[in-house]
Amino acid sequence: MRNDNQIKLKKKIHLSRTYRRLKVDRVSQNLYLFLWVIPFLIIFLYTYSIITFFLTDLAYFSLLPYLSMDEMGKVYSDFLPYFGGVYHLTLPDVVAPDNRFIAANMIFSLIIFLVCVSGRRSGHPLSIFVSMAVFIHMVSCIYFIFAPDYFPYTNSDYSELYIKQQVGIWLSFLSISGLITAFLGIGSIFRRIQTFIAIMLYSFSFGIIRYIVFLFILSKVSVLYMALMFFSFGPFFDFLYLVYIYGLYVEKVISVSESQEGKGVWEWS
Amino acid sequence: MGMIVLIFAFTMLLFFPLLGGYVAYKKNNSQTLVIKQDRSKNPRYFADAFIKLFEEKWINYDGSGKLKFSHEESIIEADKTALYKSKCDSVVYAEKIDFNPEPTGIQFYKEIYVKKNAYLRGVIQLRAIACLSNVLIGENTEIIRWADAQNELIVLDNCDLGISTTSGNELIIGINCLFRRLYAPVIYIGQKPEQKWSAYNTIDKKILYLVPKTETKRNLKYIDKFLINESGIAEFSVVSKRNVTVVENIIVQGSIRSHKGIRICDGVIVCGNLFAEGNIVLGKNVCVLGSIFTQGDIIVESRVMIGQKNKIVSIVARGRIEFSENSVVYGNVSCEGGGKISKWLE
Amino acid sequence: MGMVLAVLKGYFIFSIVIILIYAFRHFIFAYNRAFGRQRLFYNDIIASDMPTISILIPMHNEEKVLKFALESLLECDYDRDRMEIIPINDNSKDKTKEMLDEYHSRYHFIRPLHRDCSNRGKPAGLNDAMKTARGEIIIVFDADYRPAKNMLNQLALAFLDPEVGAVMGRVIPYNTDKNLLTRLLNLERSGGYQADQQARYNLRLIPQYGGTVGGFRKSLMLESGGFDTAVLAEDTELTFRLYINGWKVVYANSAECYEEVPETWAVRAKQVRRWSRGHNSVCFRYIIPTILTKNMYPREKIDGILLLLVYAMPFMLALALLDSLALFFLGEMNVWSGWFVLLFVGAYNTYGNFAPFYEISSALIIDGVKKDVLLLPLLTFNFYFYLWNVSLGFLDAMVDLVSRRKVKWDKTVRFTEESGQVV
């Protein structure tokens, strides 16, 4: 026989998706935000100099088989006031690409561009993305044809640019992933922390590997690709894994909230 | 070699989220949200659905004492039962007799279906009752989910009416009762069967035929004697950002919409609807011929009439509704925050 | 040169600020829908005195789908003495006319309006139909829609509130299983309606009338001269016309109706470009009146301005990307590299018709849609897709404004021949 408590539960009418909402758990939201996200952010602000120090070391040793020790160095540049600067690797000076190499790039870019804008591919999101990337690359090619001496960056400049941008990405991602898991998440703090750590681990790994690969390309292939790498394979791609890992978290939230176990997460209207 | 590994790792990390998305796209079929195309508003849905289901199953009943609904339930045929256990965990079906369960103090944990009349004096708690005739629910009864009568449903004082209490004809509810949703062509609230009151019997019938005006005055705070014609009628609707007060004994031939609250003072008649974001207070002897809707609470003082005979209107609150005794509603009462009927204290 | 650099840098900062404002706005919407108190719609009201309604269905060569819309409407539980259906046969070349006449012979309240004139298009058709409509309320459906039984009742109930000028229901795609595009559009719709529209209704901002699965007061439209046939986004125009004149638009999340979404990128591109062109022309016309009107609260004005500018954003973002490209080649990127990342926050405002990924996620949690949330990364390239097509629409609108050229109405291509297979 049922007890009275079981009957009491039936007093609720379980409404449809139209006006249901999730219960706010302010305690766990605040605990997570103030004891995890904000401390993490503060620690990062005071340690990004050290992080870039080690990152530069890592890049140095990874590039050592391809560049001599004399060609590389580690320097410190100012970045955010109060929190300090960043370390980055210095690399050999840029030699402007020769015209044949630029022309080959131009022709190749043009072919890709034509492929993207012709036939059924025209107007497809991927084609538009590639067209825009190719456009940036063509601008770069034209620049190097007409004004190679005025190109404002050395490889070392780019290295500095990259590190500053990467620290910007980490700061933004710490804030964005902290906010979305704190305020747009439900359920255990553990799962939120898991998501947060996964995003940041991915971000650190991706940022470091990309740095080494980009420096390698610039030093060993051509500086011509600098703009393409900066604009097309920069922060835009970082958002992809942020969205994906958050998606995995939301997927879990949906599974729980739609199960018998998760009925308690809902409130009505 | 090391750089090849790094370039490979970079490419993987670059495209892994897209790959994950693509795998999810290929692996899982799309989910079109299901819309219930045949869904229709039926205030007596609980009873109608239960009766339909019960009748379908009863045709094949084999007398075993079990009937399979969504899962198997035990059945008590009231026609063959004299006494009930104090905690009755079976669906009860009374086909040919009036249902008058003995002894007192029973708790019915499952639905009751009665084809004749039901007299539920002394029942402590019942889950739900559907009746094709009249129902009397005695004092201090708690209904967990719903109660419905095809004809007259009378609820005596101090009851909790659960989620929904409805009738096809007339609902009479005593004082100190709690409710969430009420529906009947006429609902006597805070009243007794032997002393039913409605302003409909005394109101000037001409007022019932006044068509609400759509001409709108904006941002009024008061509807008072300066805004009425010689017949005492304010011939307009009001849309206001402010709290709106209609002073005593005025007829408003229109609707009122406030972004805050509405106060209708004693003796006012409103021919249209009342809509507010804040609380709505209806004074004594007020008549509102249209519907009332608010995102806040509704407080109804004594001898108030909402709606009129042979028409259905609604009184809906996002918050609470508090009635005092001796009011009448023609139609539907619904509140998210719970409703209460209290004794009128001057 | 210094001046040019200052302008470029200024625009860069301006873009980032605007993008962050939109990101924050949508974060609020996502949070409000997921956790906030939901504002009650009128569907708990039961009333016998309902307004008279005229259901207008613009049609152009709809012989394959019109029966489904009409049969669904005939199933609706609205009092037939208080409703009429006016299918607007707009220069159809197929059997639409004959089929509608046949319906008329069977049901007196189905009164087709046959238009055979050069002035084609939805707004012109609606204007003509409104002149003959007998209902106080006009409800608009597309020919391939299949309204649920209680849909008319839910929409009409809103007009018991004397301040409501228009009501909008929720559209749900039914052809989601066709391809990746339809799957992604399903996500967009979820974010756009379940989260965005409902949050705006909750927060008493500006839920948008969407042109179909919605209704408005006929008198208001006729008094103000009907729809402007020179405007492609007649729905947005109506929304702002109402708000500026002191009326409200309400959103009925429970009034759900199936719709067909484009199945090819080409059709989607055309649709988005047309929306952008129409929306931006409304923006040019209404942004100043929105700021100046005394009939809107400050919160409504802010939301209204952001809503009006929403289709200008991708163009602004495109300029910001070109701006940053210029800064890069001018050697000025060093200072901005740390903030460059924030420019791409804008990319995530364009997710789902400008609903960012977290807003779509909130909607999917509420809708209880499993698995599809993992498709979110695939929306990434939509950023460039919208950036391009919406920018083209913005430029179209600019040219319209300057040249005062006449716009031509274009119907979105239909894909489902037998809508009856749906559900």
- Kindly state whether residue B98 falls inside one of the protein's structural domains: yes
Residue that is last in its domain, among B168, B189, B222: B168
Name which of A213, A244, A268 is nearest B21 (Cβ-Cβ): A244
Name the minimum distance, in Å, from the CA of A1 to any CA of chain C. 33
Q: Which chain A residues are Cβ-neighbours of B9 within 8 angstroms?
A: 209
Neighbouring CB atoms inside 10 A of A198's CB total: 18
Looking at the complex, does the CB of residue A122 fall below 8 Å from at least one CB of chain B? no
Q: Do A239 and C344 touch (CB under 8 A)?
A: yes
Q: Are residues C336 and C292 in the same domain?
A: no
Q: Based on the structure, what is the number of domains in chain B?
A: 2
Assess whether pLDDT exceeds 50 at residue C422. Answer: no
pLDDT interval class at A113 (50, 70, 90): very high
Question: B162 to chain A: which residues are within 8 Å by CB?
Answer: 11
Residue C420 has pLDDT above 50, yes or no: no
Q: Is residue B140 domain-resident?
A: yes
Taking an 8 Å cut-off on Cβ atoms, the answer to whether C257 and B35 are in contact is yes
Residues C248 and C103 in one domain: yes
Contacts of A210 in chain B (CB under 8 A): 10, 13
Q: Which of the other chains make 3 or more beta carbon contacts under 8 angstroms with chain A? A: B, C
Q: For chain C, what is the mean pLDDT?
A: 89
Q: What are the phi and psi torsion angles at B315 (to 5°)?
A: -130, 110
Clarify whether residues C108 and C211 are in a common domain.
yes
- Best CA proximity match to A178, nearest among A199, A158, A164, A163: A199
Taking a contact as any Cβ pair under 8 Å apart, which residues of chain A between 17 and 56 contact chain C? 17-24
Sign of CA dihedral A41, A45, A46, A52: positive
Does the pLDDT value for residue A1 go beyond 90? no
CB contact, 8 Å: A254 with chain C? yes
Number of C-beta neighbours around residue A1 at 10 A: 8
Same structural domain for residues C282 and C324?
Answer: no
Q: Report how far residue C22's alpha carbon sits from residue C349's, in angstroms, rounded to the nearest whole number.
A: 7
* pLDDT tens readout for residues B77-98: 988 887 888 999 999 999 999 9
Confidence of residue A15 (pLDDT cuts 50, 70, 90): low
Instruction: Give the number of other CB atoms < 10 A from CB of residue B230.
Output: 5
In whole angstroms, give the CA distance from residue B9 to residue A213: 10
**Mean of the pLDDT values across residues A150-164?**
89
For chain A positions 185-204, those within 8 Å of chain C (CB to CB) are 186
Selected for mutation to probe chain C from A139, A250, A259 (highest C CB count within 10 Å) is A250
Structural domain of residue B121, as residue ranges? 46-168
Are C351 and C290 found together in one domain? no
Q: Do A209 and B21 touch (CB under 8 A)?
A: no
- CATH no. for residue C170? 3.90.550.10
Enumerate residues 43 to 72 of chain A having a beta carbon within 8 A of any beta carbon in chain B: 62, 65-66
Report pLDDT for C243: 97
- Contact of A202 with chain B, judged by CB distance below 8 Å, is answered with yes
Q: Is residue C114 part of a domain?
A: yes
All residues of chain B having their beta carbon less than 8 Å from the beta carbon of residue C374 are: 20-21, 24, 28
Contact C52/C81 with Cβ under 8 angstroms? no
pLDDT digits (tens, 9 = 90+) for C303-315: 999 999 999 999 9
B221 plus B275 within the same structural domain: yes
Residue with tokens 């001796």: B326
Inside any domain, residue C318: yes
Q: What is the pLDDT of residue C58?
A: 92
Q: Residue window 221-260, chain A: list those with CB within 8 Å of chain B.
A: 233, 237, 240-241, 243-245, 247
CB of B326 closer than 8 Å to CB of B302 = yes
Among candidates C413, C350, C412, which has minimal Cα distance to C386? C350
Can you tell me which residue has the tokens 């749906």? C422
Amino acid at C122: K
List, for residues C319-345, the tens digit of each pLDDT value. 998 999 999 999 887 766 777 777 777
Residues B236 and B336 in one domain: yes
Q: Residue B236's Cα: distance from chain center in Å? A: 30
Query: Going by C-beta distance under 8 Å and a sequence separation of 6 or more, which residues neighbour residue A12?
Result: A268
> Are B336 and B229 part of one and the same domain?
yes
Shortest distance between the Cα of C296 and any Cα of chain B, in A, equals 10
Q: Is B38 domain-assigned?
A: no
C258 touches chain B (CB under 8 A): yes
Considering the domain boundaries, does residue C408 fall inside one? no
Encode pLDDT of C57-111 as tens digits: 999 888 888 888 899 999 999 999 999 999 999 888 889 999 999 999 999 999 9
What the block records as the tokens of B239 is 């849309």
Number of domains comprising chain C: 2
| Residue B247 shares a structural domain with residue B326 | yes
Q: Which of B168, B191, B222 is the last residue of a domain?
A: B168
Which position has the higher pLDDT, C141 or C231? C141
Reading the block at residue B295, the tokens are 């995102």
* Domain regions of chain A by residue span: 17-94+153-268, 96-152
Question: Is C50 a member of any domain?
Answer: yes
Minimum CA–CA partner of C331 in chain A: A152
Cα distance between residue A110 and residue C108, in whole Å: 63
For residues B157 and B230, membership in a common domain is answered with no
Category of A84 on φ-ψ map: left (φ > 0), alpha (ψ -120 to 50) or beta: left
Statement to judge: residues C22 and C159 lie in one domain: no
C367: chain A residues, CB-CB within 8 Å: 17
Angle, CA C299 vertex, CA C208 and CA C17 arms, to 5°: 95
User: Are residues B312 and B211 both part of a single domain?
Assistant: yes
Residues C194 and C277 grouped into a single domain? yes
Smallest Cβ distance to C329: which of A128, A143, A253?
A: A143
B162-179 confidence digits (pLDDT tens): 999 999 999 999 999 999
Q: What is the phi/psi pair of residue B314, to 5°?
A: -130, 150
Place of tokens 């239960």: B50
C183 within 8 A of C375, measured Cβ to Cβ: yes
pLDDT value of position A62? 92
Do B332 and C182 count as a contact with CB atoms less than 8 A apart? no
Query: Is residue C168 located within the same domain as residue C282?
Result: yes
Q: Which domain holds residue C319?
A: 2-36+308-403
The answer to whether A10 contacts chain B (CB < 8 Å) is: yes
Name the more confident of A239 and C283: C283
How far is B209 from A131, CA to CA, in rounded Å? Answer: 70
**Vertex C57, ends C51 and C58: CA angle to 5°?**
140
Sign for the pseudo-dihedral over CA of B90, B91, B94, B98: positive
ipTM associated with this complex = 0.90
- Tell me the residues of chain B between 240 and 269 that have a Cβ less than 8 Å away from chain C: 241, 254-257
> Is the Cβ of B336 closer than 8 Å to some Cβ of chain C?
yes
pLDDT of residue B38: 81
Q: Are residues C211 and C99 in the same domain?
A: yes
Q: From C378, which residue of chain A is nearest by alpha-carbon distance?
A: A240
Per-residue pLDDT band for B207 (boundaries 50, 70, 90) equals confident
- Looking at residue A3, its pLDDT comes to 42
Contact B10 A213 (CB under 8 A): yes
User: Which of B5, B11, B14 to mutate to probe the A interface, most A CBs <10 Å?
Assistant: B14
Q: What is the pLDDT at residue C407? A: 72
Mean pLDDT of A106-115: 94
pLDDT of A54-65, one tens digit each?
A: 999 999 999 998
CB contact under 8 A, A139 and C348: no
- Residue count of chain A, please give it: 269
Determine, for residues B3 and A66 on separate chains, whether the beta-carbon distance falls below 8 Å: yes
Among A2, A13, A204, which would you mutate to test the B interface (most chain B Cβ atoms within 10 Å of its Cβ)?
A: A13
pLDDT(C416) > 80: no
Report the residue of chain B nearest A269, measured CA to CA. Answer: B336
Taking CB atoms and an 8 Å cutoff, what residues of chain A touch B336?
268-269
Q: What is the pLDDT of residue A86?
A: 93
